Structure 1
């Protein structure tokens, strides 16, 4: 999809240097993908400690329990 954007040139240049990406289009795509990834991780963090999976790690790892 072709879109015209008015972006600060200094931010694009800084992002390109930081990521070693050579084109403006690719650096914008990388930034959008990272934004989505971080948002998905934040959504998963809401469930921390709230999901009981009832998993016995020793059984999964095929270990003998030491008493």
Structure 2
């Protein structure tokens, strides 16, 4: 989608420098992707504390061991 916008030159130059983009368009696209990603992560961070039964590393380890056991039994215990 083509859009005409007025971007402060110093901000655009800094974005190009930080992203290593070769074009202004690439710098703007990268900045939009990064912005959206940070917003999604912030949203997830806000809801993380609301889960009652959120899995920790120990629970994940037990689940993986159970899956391996089930696969072995399926092949013949």
TM-score normalised to structure 2 length: 0.68
Q: Please tell me the root mean square deviation across aligned C-alpha atoms, in Å.
A: 2.1
List 4+ stretches of structure 1 deviating above 3 A.
none
How is 1:14-29 mapped onto 2 (pairs within 5 angstroms)?
14-29=14-29
Give 1:54 deviation, angstroms. 6.0
TM-superposed CA distance for 1:28, in Å, is: 0.4
Q: Which has the higher helix share?
A: 2
Deviations 1:10-63 (A, max 9, x none): 111111111111100011011111111111111111222321146733422429
Q: For structure 1, which runs of at least 5 residues remain unmatched after alignment?
A: none
User: Which entry has the higher C-alpha Rg, 1 or 2?
Assistant: 2
TM-score using structure 1 length: 0.76
